[in-house]
Chain A
Amino acid sequence: MIPAEFKYLFPSTVDEAVRMLAEEGEDAKVIAGGQSLVPVLRMRLAAPTALIDIGGLTELTGVRDDGDSLLIGAMTTHYEVQRDHLVQDHALLLRLVTDTIADPQIRHRGTFGGSLCHADPAGDLLAPVLALDAVMIIAGPSGRREVPAAEFFVDYFTTALAADEILVDVRVPKYTGWGAHYEKLNRVAQAWSIVAVAAAVQVRDGTISAARVGLTNVGSGPVRATGVEEALIGQPPSSEAISEAALRASSGDGYKDNLARVLTGRALTAAVAG
């Protein structure tokens, strides 16, 4: 388990990092927490010629209040997300999801942005970020651009990032006061989701006024369960309404289809209760 030889670069600003990426060309890679990239390197499934370590870019760490939304720096670790008050108050779903990721060691190193850029459909942060209508703020040679989550996740391990771009921040609208839950089925504690469902629900005057539901690991990327969301609007937060809506999470009869429906029901039930 020894990776192939690579050059190691340690930029101190985002601009420098972007420049290095351009200079090193197609075979250069950004390394954040290394929790997905290092195993890939060690198994020699990838052999980048240069690694650009963005661990020194303090401008990419932490969560900021930006009016109607939060800005989560790409290098914010899972551990920091778990303990952040802004996240707790305005994007509770993200904290609940992050609590289920891997184990404490990995949560101390792995990053919010790294998880999204890695774009493993089994990764837990993709579906909630999609469901919460987050926007990716990306830095490249010609400046910054914004890409909505729905366009960011392209396929298995593939995002809208160009080879010379870096994810800088993720803008997450505030969901203050929404109930939330992440229902994850995995076999052992450090294993990834077989299927998981992220749900955030707003209940006003005994009626569901808005809902966000995202499915983890049911396809080549995160899936937004819009059918479920629509079926919930205007309904009471009752078990009947939830069961009815959850059926729309999937129409197939395979194991994962079943899980999508069952876990959606459970996620919504817990979200409206909390």
Chain B
Amino acid sequence: MTATAEPEIGKARLRKEDARLITGQTRWTDNLQLTGMLHMAVLRSPVAHARITNIDVSRATAMPGVAVVLTGEDFAAEQGSLPCAWPITEDMKSPPAPAMAVDQVNFAGEAVALVIADSAYHAADALEAIDVDYEDLPVVLDMEEALRDNDLVHPDLGTNKCATWIFDSAEAGVGTNVEDEIASAEVVIERTFRQQRLIPAFMEPRSVVVDTTAGMFTVWSATQIPHILRWMLSAVTGISEHKLRVIAPDVGGGFGGKLQVTPEELLCLLVARRMGRPVKWTESRTESMLSAHHGRDQIQKITLSARRDGTVTGLKVELLADMGAYLRLVTPGVPILGAFMFNSIYKFAAYRFVCTNVFTNKVPTDAYRGAGRPEATFAIERMMDELAVELGMEPMKIREMNWIKHEEFPFNTVAGLTYDSGNYEAATARAMELFGYDELREEQARRRSSGDVVQLGIGISTYTEMCGLAPSRVLGALRYAAGGWETASIRMLPTGKVEVITGTSPHGQGHETVWSQIVADKLGVPFEDVEVLHGDTATSHKGMDSYGSRSLAVGGTALVHAADKVLAKARTLAAHMMECDEADVEFASGSFSVRGTSTVRSLGDVVLAAHVAHDLPEGMEPGMDADATFDPDNFSFPHGTHLCATEVDTETGMVRISRYVAVDDVGTVMNPLIVDGQVHGGLAQGIAQALYEEATHDEMGTLTTATFADYLLPCAADLPAFLTDRTTTPATSNPLGAKGVGEAGTIASTPAVVNSVLDAVRHLGVRDIEMPMSPERVWTALQGRPDPGAGDVAAGGLGSIDAQGGQS
């Protein structure tokens, strides 16, 4: 069924997007210049919790180029509340979330005033001339302290507790009672882990342009979710949805950080409406770190029960999840996405998950690559190692004896999901072989016995995750406000070229390439003849956008269905053209033929015939376009085995990854190059959580990591060469057999690294080290001293300059 000898699906094609994205010769939001455009700059609160007693804009208003200076008072009547689409419980506390603070600020970085000027320079200059008086309120930063309700983030709510969400296997009828399992267990292990606060750190800062020309509101935004954004902006502002057009042009990364309806998007829209002129806002890196949502930030208390032979029985998870100061689009639901994954690949009899969401005076948290699943995977993979240590068992053995065997699929889990397929044995065997597991264990033993300064550790992560978000009925049951389907259209053009319209919204993933490969194979047209349109609500009128490793499994399936519709219609017309019975029509390599004859019509001929419509079968509509929308029945469940070897310098605490093997099973692979790229990037982010990244605040609630000098991101030079391979167990929930690969690397790698470092130093008396495992933290643990915190020796790229407080 292909025009080329080689099938497109499975081909390691370079991305058609690469040239324009890498050279920057494309349309990023900030590149847009519209006639008469104004520039918006945002004054942000330097304090985390305070009443605004006065704002004096008179000096700023008089500055050169300034059109107007606006404060929260100016928007109070029209700004409404930013949406939260995931009220996880009926009684969830949800404070109003103004785009701009009116009389109180609740986190440092919250918008308090806007300058609208004729240039970005003038706007930035005038910000400094706005005088704001703050009356400090007590700052709530620590979750456990917050729950005592001594000081309240939102006094009107009467508590800092946002919601408690519970899943219990006994209550759900899918398992036994966890308290019974714990009470009767031979071994009980209880540990507390901290998921530090992370910053998504997409490369392209956020940018918004709003144009009100010709009676339409056109919003360009560096967003992952143009469709959801349009819906939500309409809901918040009352601007009719059909008068709003949202365009996500090329977008430079998101990692969940652009899965948001941001204050600045709303403010730009309100300002453009007020001024009747185009308005642009583009943030600086520091602004991004101070105000775009953060990720993770949980305290995880985990209790695991087992038998002495290593069989796990019960798992109890008690989470505290930091919401920050407001509930953004899916803030409260992020930890809940992890609820289904703590049991992972293991056969627990009983499971209970209790998550308490907590308000603090910090930037709101929300989706960040993996969203809920990295936290779950980290906790369970750390616990499996703890159990192995407790019982003196080999950590891979203890996993193997507890995981679901490949012949047991489909498998109903203790968290109420059905895993459709998987083969943990195969992925693990391949990973152990690539890694040289046994040889490294020998090397480790040698270093231990010789007391080598540099100790070797081996870390395991046998993970699974859920992606392909999501069956709409499941989302409904979880009280999520939207569906999880995806849509695709195929437009067959008269010259035989093909336009594909997708509801997914790529921001670096390469959908244009893979969608073209799928269509090229299905329709037998050359890869180059397919153009993929996305991210503009005027061309792609519906869609649920890109996040949750959903685009291929859900959006790709919609595309397959649309292609099937094109072919079905084309077959009817081909039969008509070739004057034969439809049952005798065969389709191969882009051509229809009559079985057993030499009569042939190319798809292009048939498409043209449909287009000119001179001679169509009775009742057939002209044209050969098709739409399809797909709502999955189930999630998909990538899995795999990651093995990490680290060398830990016991004298300095420095950790170096000496080998990293990732064998992932992401189902059928469309383009191995893109899959490898996703895995590599995912590993970098997961490893960075283990070793480098952490958003920290001082006691006043000021973010002390507001530049890339303080917030450490690794680059290629800091990461090892990754050895990646795959096993392929197709997903059964979609015709492509694809599972999803956008988040797997991030989900799997963090515990592999942490387990590895602990494995290197456990014999020296170290039981745990908090993330990120900085050299100071590792060394301090080796001295048997308490955790030093993030420390003052982060030492990034600005030397001793402290971006917040001047030169220290």
Pair B795/A191 contact, Cβ less than 8 Å: yes
In the complex, chain A residues whose CB is within 8 Å of the CB of B799? 36, 118, 120-123, 192
Question: 1/0 per residue B258-287: CB within 8 Å of A?
Answer: 000000000000000000000000001110
Query: Nearest residue in A to B780 (C-beta to C-beta)?
Result: A255
B94 touches A (CB below 8 Å) = no
Pair A188/B715 contact, Cβ less than 8 Å: yes
Pair A190/B715 contact, Cβ less than 8 Å: yes
Question: 1/0 per residue B773-800: CB within 8 Å of A?
Answer: 0111001100000001001011111111
Interface segment among A23-31, A39-47, A59-67, A229-237: the answer is A39-47
B155 touches A (CB below 8 Å) = no
Q: Which of A39, A185, A256, A258 contacts B801 (CB 8 A)?
A: A39
Pair A187/B774 contact, Cβ less than 8 Å: yes
B598 touches A (CB below 8 Å) = no
In the complex, chain A residues whose CB is within 8 Å of the CB of B125? 2, 4-5
Report Cα–Cα, A193/B797, bound state, in Å: 9
Query: Nearest residue in B to A43 (C-beta to C-beta)?
Result: B803
Excluding A1-B286, A255-B776, A258-B779, 18 further A-B contacts by CB distance (< 8 Å) are: A2-B120, A2-B125, A2-B284, A43-B286, A102-B797, A120-B800, A122-B795, A156-B800, A185-B654, A187-B692, A188-B713, A188-B717, A188-B796, A191-B795, A192-B797, A255-B779, A259-B652, A262-B652
Pair A188/B718 contact, Cβ less than 8 Å: yes
Report Cα–Cα, A2/B776, bound state, in Å: 35
B651 touches A (CB below 8 Å) = yes
Pair B779/A156 contact, Cβ less than 8 Å: no
In the complex, chain A residues whose CB is within 8 Å of the CB of B653? 255
Pair A255/B120 contact, Cβ less than 8 Å: no
B199 touches A (CB below 8 Å) = no
B124 touches A (CB below 8 Å) = yes
In the complex, chain B residues whose CB is within 8 Å of the CB of A188? 692, 712-715, 717-718, 796
In the complex, chain B residues whose CB is within 8 Å of the CB of A111? none
B668 touches A (CB below 8 Å) = no
Pair A45/B801 contact, Cβ less than 8 Å: yes
Question: 1/0 per residue A167-208: CB within 8 Å of B?
Answer: 000000000000000000111111111100000000000000
In the complex, chain B residues whose CB is within 8 Å of the CB of A39? 709, 798, 801
Query: Nearest residue in B to A1 (C-beta to C-beta)?
Result: B284
Report Cα–Cα, A4/B286, bound state, in Å: 16
Query: Nearest residue in A to B798 (C-beta to C-beta)?
Result: A39
| Interfacial residues of chain A within 110-166, with CB under 8 A of chain B in the complex | 118, 120-123, 156-157
Query: Nearest residue in B to A36 (C-beta to C-beta)?
Result: B799
Report Cα–Cα, A77/B652, bound state, in Å: 31
Pair B651/A45 contact, Cβ less than 8 Å: no
In the complex, chain B residues whose CB is within 8 Å of the CB of A189? 715, 717-718
In the A-B complex, the 9 residue pairs with the smallest Cβ-Cβ separation, listed nearest first, are A120-B799, A1-B284, A189-B717, A122-B799, A2-B124, A262-B651, A188-B718, A194-B795, A194-B793
B707 touches A (CB below 8 Å) = yes
Report Cα–Cα, A189/B803, bound state, in Å: 20
Report Cα–Cα, A40/B653, bound state, in Å: 31
How many residues from A make CB contacts under 8 Å with B?
A: 35
Pair A191/B796 contact, Cβ less than 8 Å: yes
The secondary-structure label for the interface of chain A is: loop
Report Cα–Cα, A205/B807, bound state, in Å: 47
Report Cα–Cα, A5/B128, bound state, in Å: 12
A217 touches B (CB below 8 Å) = yes
A-B contact pairs, 21 of them (CB 8 A): A1-B286, A4-B125, A5-B121, A39-B798, A43-B803, A121-B799, A123-B799, A156-B808, A185-B654, A187-B712, A188-B715, A188-B717, A189-B715, A189-B717, A190-B715, A191-B712, A192-B796, A194-B795, A255-B779, A255-B793, A258-B779
B451 touches A (CB below 8 Å) = no
In the complex, chain A residues whose CB is within 8 Å of the CB of B619? none
In the complex, chain B residues whose CB is within 8 Å of the CB of A4? 125, 128
In the complex, chain B residues whose CB is within 8 Å of the CB of A263? 652
Query: Nearest residue in A to B803 (C-beta to C-beta)?
Result: A43
B806 touches A (CB below 8 Å) = yes
Question: 1/0 per residue A258-270: CB within 8 Å of B?
Answer: 1100110000000
Pair A185/B775 contact, Cβ less than 8 Å: yes
| Interfacial residues of chain A within 212-235, with CB under 8 A of chain B in the complex | 217
In the complex, chain B residues whose CB is within 8 Å of the CB of A5? 121, 125
Q: How far is the CB of A148 from chain B (nearest CB, A)?
A: 23
Question: 1/0 per residue A1-30: CB within 8 Å of B?
Answer: 110110000000000000000000000000
Pair A187/B775 contact, Cβ less than 8 Å: yes
Question: 1/0 per residue A70-94: CB within 8 Å of B?
Answer: 0000000000000000000000000
Question: 1/0 per residue B15-47: CB within 8 Å of A?
Answer: 000000000000000000000000000000000
Question: 1/0 per residue A90-116: CB within 8 Å of B?
Answer: 000000000000100000000000000
Query: Nearest residue in A to B779 (C-beta to C-beta)?
Result: A255
Query: Nearest residue in B to A183 (C-beta to C-beta)?
Result: B652
Question: 1/0 per residue B370-393: CB within 8 Å of A?
Answer: 000000000000000000000000
Pair A157/B807 contact, Cβ less than 8 Å: yes
| Interfacial residues of chain B within 189-219, with CB under 8 A of chain A in the complex | none
Report Cα–Cα, A122/B775, bound state, in Å: 17
Query: Nearest residue in A to B205 (C-beta to C-beta)?
Result: A1
Query: Nearest residue in A to B650 (C-beta to C-beta)?
Result: A262
In the complex, chain A residues whose CB is within 8 Å of the CB of B654? 185
Query: Nearest residue in B to A2 (C-beta to C-beta)?
Result: B124
Query: Nearest residue in B to A193 (C-beta to C-beta)?
Result: B795
Pair B714/A185 contact, Cβ less than 8 Å: no
In the complex, chain A residues whose CB is within 8 Å of the CB of B780? 255
Report Cα–Cα, A122/B801, bound state, in Å: 10
In the complex, chain A residues whose CB is within 8 Å of the CB of B652? 185, 258-259, 262-263
Q: How far is the CB of A122 from chain B (nearest CB, A)?
A: 4
Report Cα–Cα, A237/B285, bound state, in Å: 49
In the complex, chain A residues whose CB is within 8 Å of the CB of B803? 43, 45
In the complex, chain A residues whose CB is within 8 Å of the CB of B793? 194, 255-256
In the complex, chain B residues whose CB is within 8 Å of the CB of A122? 795, 799-800
Q: Which of B776, B791, B797, B807 contacts A191 (CB 8 A)?
A: B797
Report Cα–Cα, A93/B553, bound state, in Å: 56
Query: Nearest residue in A to B717 (C-beta to C-beta)?
Result: A189
Interface centre among B121, B780, B807 (most CB of A within 10 A): B807
Pair B794/A187 contact, Cβ less than 8 Å: yes
Interface centre among A36, A122, A185, A187 (most CB of B within 10 A): A187
Report Cα–Cα, A40/B798, bound state, in Å: 9
Query: Nearest residue in B to A106 (C-beta to C-beta)?
Result: B797
Report Cα–Cα, A259/B795, bound state, in Å: 14
Report Cα–Cα, A44/B713, bound state, in Å: 23
Pair B806/A45 contact, Cβ less than 8 Å: yes
Pair A40/B801 contact, Cβ less than 8 Å: yes
Report Cα–Cα, A258/B801, bound state, in Å: 24
Query: Nearest residue in B to A45 (C-beta to C-beta)?
Result: B806
Report Cα–Cα, A120/B124, bound state, in Å: 28
Report Cα–Cα, A262/B806, bound state, in Å: 31
In the complex, chain B residues whose CB is within 8 Å of the CB of A123? 799
In the complex, chain A residues whose CB is within 8 Å of the CB of B121? 2, 5
Interface centre among A121, A123, A192 (most CB of B within 10 A): A192
Report Cα–Cα, A199/B624, bound state, in Å: 76
In the complex, chain B residues whose CB is within 8 Å of the CB of A121? 799-800
Report Cα–Cα, A109/B794, bound state, in Å: 25
Q: How far is the CB of B803 from chain A (nearest CB, A)?
A: 6
